[in-house]
Structure 1
Amino acid sequence: MGRRFKLVFGISLLFLLLDSCRGSKVGVCYGRNADDIPTPDKVAQLVQLHNIKYVRMYDSNIQVLKAFANTGVELMIGVTNTDLLPFSQFQSNVDTWLKNSILPYYPATKITYITVGAEVTESPGNASALVVPAMQNVVTALKKVGLHKRIKVSSTHSLGVLSRSFPPSAGAFNSSHAFFLKPMLEFLAENQSPFMIDLYPYYAYRDSPNNVSLQYALFESSPEVIDPNTGLIYTNMFDAQIDSIYFALMALNFRTIKIMVTETGWPSKGSPKEKAATPDNAQTYNTNLIRHVINDSGTPAKPGEELDVYIFSLFNENRKPGLESERNWGLFYPDQTSVYNLDFTGKGAGDMITNANITSSNGTTWCIASSKASEMDLQNALDWACGPGNVDCSAIQPSQPCFEPDNLVSHASYAFNSYYEQNGATDVACSFGGTGVKVDKDPSYDNCLYMTAGGVNKTLASNTTAIASTSSSTQNEAFTWISNFILVTSLSFLLIVGNF
C-alpha cells in the first residue's frame, strides 16, 4: 500500500510540475458592443485562422458558446454587473444559469474561467458588495457538477482599485474598497484563482504625457525608472503597474495569489487630442507586449513569473461611448481584415518564418502553406480563405487542375497564394495565423498555375515547396520532447523506489 501511494503521489506531483511549466499565454477580448461585427460563427473561424487560442467574452451568449464548440479555443465567460444581484441573492438562480446556459455546451466549448462582475468599483451604482456572494454561489454551483477545479472563478478590476501605484513598492489597495476586497482575496486564495486586472499604459501616457514618456509606455527603449525603496529598475510602465499590484497583495499578506491581465492594449485611432492613438503605436505596444509575455520575462519584482494577458480587443466597437479612441481598440475591422499586422507567436512580422522576405530575381513572391502547421490550423485557414476570404477555390475541386495532389498542404497553398496576391502581396496577407510562408520559387506545376500580383502566372515550373519551420514550432517540439523525457525518467525512478 505504501509503495502504491508513493508511486501515485510521485506521478501526480510530476504532472503538476509539468503543468506549471506551461508558460505564459496571450488571448484576445471579444467585445460585442457594435452593430457591424461578424456573426459568432465567422468570428470563431477568424480566431482559429490567426491561431488565437484564448478568448475572453463578457457574458455567456449562447450563440457565441455554440460557435466556439470543438474549436479548441479556451473561453473566459462573464457574469455581467446587471446579473450580480440575482446571482448573489439565490443559489437557485446560479444553478439554473449553469444548467441552461453553460452545461449544454461544455466541454465541447472549452470554458476555463468565469468572471463575476467587471470593474465594479468603476461602474455606476457600485455593486461591490454583491460580487463575493455571487462568486461563492457560482463556485457552489460548479461543485455540484464537479467542475470547480476545471473552471476558475474570479472578478476583474481596473487599476483604480489601488490608491497608490507609484513607486511600485508602495502599491496599496484603496481603503474604501476594503470591505469587499479582503473577502474577495480570501476567496481567490482559497480557490487558487487569479487576481484579474485591466491595465492600460495608454491612458497613463495620454493623461500625463509630461510625466510618462511614450517610449516607456510602448516597451521601447527609454530612460530607466528606479524604485527608490527597492532599487528595482523598470524599463516599461506595464511591469511597473503589475508590480504595484504584487506589492499591494503582499502588503495584505496574500503572496500566493497570481495575477492575470484580463485587458490591455492600445487604440489605433483617436480624437485630435489623442495623438498617440495610431496604428503604428498600437502595433508597437501589442507586439512588444506579446514578446514580453511569451518570453516569460516576468517583472523586476517577480522575474520569470508566468503572466497570462488578454489583448483588448478583437474588433473596433462602434457603439462604445466616449472619445474616438474608445471605438478603435480592435485588431480587426468588421470585414475581418487586420487593422495592423500582429504576430501572436511573439517573434514579430519580420521573424515569423524563415525565407519570409526572400524574393526572386524579379521581385515576385508567392504564399504557400507550411508543412509544419497542424491539420486543424490548415483546414481552418483553408475554410476561411475559400469562405470569408473570397478566394475562388474551384481549381482545387475534384477533376480540376490543382486538385492533385489531393492533400491539405497543396490545396491550402493554392488558396493562400490566391488570397495573398489579391490582397496586395503583403506580409499580413500571407499570415494565416502563422501557417503561411512566403517563397520566391513559383509553386505552379503541370496545368496548375499559381496567381501572381499581375494576374495568373503562366510559367510552368516544378512544384517546389520551400517550407520552413517556425522557431515556435521548434520550441514546442523541444519542450514536448524534454517533458516526455522527464516523465519517462521520473516514472522509472519512482517505480524503482516503489520496489524498495
Structure 2
Amino acid sequence: MALAGSVIVLLAATLLPLLFFSPAEAGEMGVNYGRVANDLPDSASVVNLLKQNGITMVRIYDADPRVLRSFANTGIKMMVMLPNEQLADAARDRRYALDWVRSNVSAYYPATQIHAVQVGNEVFASRPDLTWSLVPAMANVQRALADLGLADAVKVSTPVAFSAVAVSWPPSDGRFRDDVAEPVMRPMLDFLQRTGSYLTINPYPYFAYAAQWSNAISRDFFLGNPNPGERDPKTGLVYYSLLDAQLDATYFAMDKMGFTSLAAYTGETGSPSSGGPKPALGRLTARNGDPPAASKENAQAYNNNVINRVLSGRTGTPHRPDADMDVYIFALFNENQKGSGPDDIEANFGLFYPNMQKVYEFDFHGAAPPPQPQPPATSSWCLANASVGDSWLQAALEYACGHGADCSAIQPGAPCFEPNTRLAHASYAFNSYYQRNGRACGTCDFNGAAYVVYNEPAGTCDPNTSWCVANEAAGDARLLEALNYACANGADCSAIQPGAACFEPNTMVAHASYAFNSYYQRNRRASGTCDFAGAASVVYQAPKYGNCVLPSKALFEEATAKSEVHAAI
C-alpha cells in the first residue's frame, strides 16, 4: 500500500467539517485461540484465563472436541472452523457436510455457544487449489445447519486474507483481485447476503507498515494514535488509521459488486511484540526514533486502540459510519511452532505467554488502556499551539472531533462558535478530547498541535453557561413592565438600586438585563424563564454593561448557598 503525501484540504471555519463516526451498537471483542504450539495450558485453564480478563468470544481453527467441551456452559461465544483439509470433501458431498455439522456443532450446541462456522482459512492465499471448492462448501454447511434447525443461530462465513483486495489506497479505489472477484467473491457475497451472514476479512496494518520502503505510512497512522490523517483524494474522506483505510477498501470493493449493505467483520488483526524480519516484508527496523515495527510498544498501542474503539461502539469507518462489527485479536498466545522458530514474528502475536502471563498490559473490559502516568491532581486544560499553523490545527481538530470530542458547541450559531478562528475552535475541540479522556497522559498532544496548561485560559467558553439579556427593540415601557415582574418574582434586584454596584449605567436596557438574568439564573435557566413576552433572549457570552458583568449561574448559586447558610445560623 502506497499512501500519497498528506493532503490537507482547508475549509472556511464557517463551514467547519467535523468528522463524526456515528457509534453503532457496541461491537464485541474476541481473540483467536490458536494452538500451533507444544507448551500451551489445557483448555479448561484457558477458559478461566478468558473469564479473568473479560474476553467473551473466541475463534478456533478447528472443532477440537476437548476445547468444545471445555467451553460448555461458560457463556463464552465460540466460532469454529471447518479446516482447509476437509474443504474439498464438504464441497463435493452434502452428506459429508451434514455429518461434520452434526458431529462438530449440533453435538455441543447450545451448551457451547457456537455462533458461527468458518469454512476454510484464507483459502485464496494458503490453498489456492481449493478456491473453486470454497463457495460450494459454504453452501453445503449452510444446508446442513438448516437441516438441523441451526441456520438462524449459527452463521456461515469464511476468513479472507486482505491480499484478496487488489487496490487498497485510496480506499475508494478498493476492488477485489481479478482472479477471484467475479468467479468467487460475487457468488460468495451473494450467499452471505442471502443467509444474513457477513464477510470475514483479516486486515493487518502491521504488514503494510513493516513492508514499506519509505516513510509514507507513519507509525501513528498504523497504530491509530492521534495524527493529522490521510485524505482520500477522490472522496475527501479523512482517515486516521490504516485499519479504517483497509476496512473501507474492502467496503468499496464490495460496493463495486453491488453489495452496499453487507457487513464485514474482522476475523484477525493484531501486531507482533517481537521477532526478526522476513525477506518478503522488507524493512522492519526502527526509523525516525520509532520502535521497531515488531515491538511490545507497537503491539500494545495497536491492540488497545482496537479493543477500546470496538467496546466503545466506534466501529464505523469514514465510508460506513454506522457499520457494526465484531473483531478478533490475533492471537491469544505466543505459539512456538508457528513460523521458523521463536524469533519469527509469526510466533509472537500473542497477548499472553504460554505461562498465561500478559506480554503487555491490555483490557477487554472497555476501560482505559495500559496504566499511564497519572495526570496532575490540579485542574488542567488543553490548548491549541498556534505555531503549528492552520493546516495542522485543522487536521488535528478533525481528528479530535471524530474521536470523542464534543464539537457541537463550535458549529455556526452554537454557544462557542465565536470567536470564529481556527485556533479557538481547535482549542475547544482539543480540550474536550482531553477532558473526556480523563486528562490521561498523551491525550493533549496531537503531534505537537496542543499543550497542557494549569490555569484556566482567558476566554474559555463553557457552552453550559448562558445569560438572559433584555431585547432593546421591545421598548422601555415593555422592559419596565417585565423588569418589575422579575424583581417581584424572585430576581435579586438590589444591585441595580441607586448607589449599588450595577446601578450604572442607569439605562432601562442595563437594569432590565440585570433583573432578567437574575430571574433566569435563580430558576436554574429553566426553559421559558428568559422570555418575558419577547422582551428578553438567551446569550452565551458574558454580557457587560459599563463596569457591571452579569453574574453566571455559578455565582448566583454561590450567593444563594451563602444566604441559606446565614438563614440557618
TM-score normalised by the chain length of structure 1: 0.65
Matches within 5 A, 1:230-309: 230-271=235-276, 273=284, 275-297=292-314, 298-309=316-327
Q: Is residue 348 from structure 1 mapped to residue 352 from structure 2 by the alignment?
A: no
The equivalent residue for 1:172 is 175
Q: Given the alignment, which residue of 224, 228, 236 partners 2:229? A: 224
Larger deviation, residues 209-218 vs 248-257: 209-218
- Report deviation, 1:347: 2.5
Q: Which residue identity is paired with 2:169?
A: F
SS for the counterpart of 1:126 is helix
Native 8 Å contact 1:296 1:307 kept in 2? no
The number of residues matched between the two structures is 337
Q: Indicate conservation of the 8 Å contact 2:27/2:325, yes or no.
A: yes
Instruction: Tell me how far 1:104 sits from its aligned partner.
Output: 2.0
Counterpart of 1:106 in structure 2 is 109
Check conservation: 1:153, 1:193, Cα contact below 8 A: yes
2:206 is matched with: 202
Partners of 1:347 and 1:316 in 2: CA distance: 24
Instruction: Say yes or no: does 1:185 pair with 2:185.
Output: no
Q: From the CA coordinates, give the structure whose radius of gyration is larger.
A: 2
Match of 1:332 in 2: 352
Structure 1: segments with no counterpart, 5+ residues: 1-19, 359-500
Identity of aligned residues (%): 38
Query: 1:14 — aligned with what?
Result: none
The match for 1:212 is 217
Alignment partner of 1:31 is 2:31: no
TM score, norm. by length of structure 2: 0.57
C-alpha deviation, 1:36, in angstroms:
0.5
What is the CA-CA distance between 1:49 and the residue it aligns to?
Answer: 1.4
Provide the secondary structure at the position in 1 that maps to 2:120.
strand
TM-fit CA distance, 1:91: 1.0
Counterpart Cα distance in 2 of 1:212 and 1:162? 19
| 1:466-485 aligned within 5 A | none
Task: Using the TM superposition, give the Cα deviation of residue 22 of structure 1 relative to its aligned residue in structure 2, in angstroms.
Answer: 4.4
Q: Determine if contact 1:79/1:116 at 8 Å carries over to the other structure.
A: yes
Q: For the structure 1 residues 146 and 21, does the alpha-carbon distance in structure 2 shift closer, same or farther, using more than 3 Å as the test?
A: farther
Structure 1 pair 315–351 and aligned structure 2 pair: CA distance change class (3 A) = closer
CA shift, 1:213, in A, is 1.1
**Deviations 1:451-472, CA, capped at 9 Å, x for gaps:** xxxxxxxxxxxxxxxxxxxxxx
Find the residue that maps to 2:163 and give its secondary structure.
helix
Q: Secondary structure at the match of 1:122?
A: helix
Tell whether the 8 Å contact from 1:116 to 1:154 is kept in structure 2 after alignment: yes
Q: Distance in 1 between matches of 2:118 and 2:212?
A: 31
Shift of 1:124: 4.0
- Determine the C-alpha separation between the residues in 1 that align with 2:308 and 2:333: 22
1:41 maps to what in 2?
Answer: 44
Deviation track 1:231-258 (CA, whole Å, cap 9, x = no partner) reads: 0001110000000111111111101210
CA distance 1:115–1:356, shift in 2 (3 Å): farther
Maintained 8 Å contact 2:24/2:323 = no
Letter of the structure 2 residue corresponding to residue 229 of structure 1: K
After superposition, the Cα gap between the structure-2 partners of 1:221 and 1:262, relative to the gap in structure 1 and judged at 3 Å, is same
Distance change (3 Å), C-alpha of 1:145 and 1:172: same
In structure 2, distance between residues paired with 1:356 and 1:104: 53
In 1, the alpha carbon distance for the partners of 2:206 and 2:190 equals 31
Q: Quick one: distance in 2 between partners of 1:141 and 1:356? A: 56
Partner of 2:501 in structure 1? Answer: none
Kindly state the Cα deviation for residue 356 of structure 1 after the two structures are TM-superposed.
Answer: 13
Q: What amino acid is aligned across from residue 272 of structure 2 in structure 1?
A: P
1:119 aligns with 2:136: no
- What amino acid is aligned across from residue 194 of structure 2 in structure 1? E
Alpha-carbon distance in structure 2 between the residues aligned to 1:222 and 1:290: 19
Amino acid at match of 1:146: G
> Is 1:156 aligned with 2:168?
no
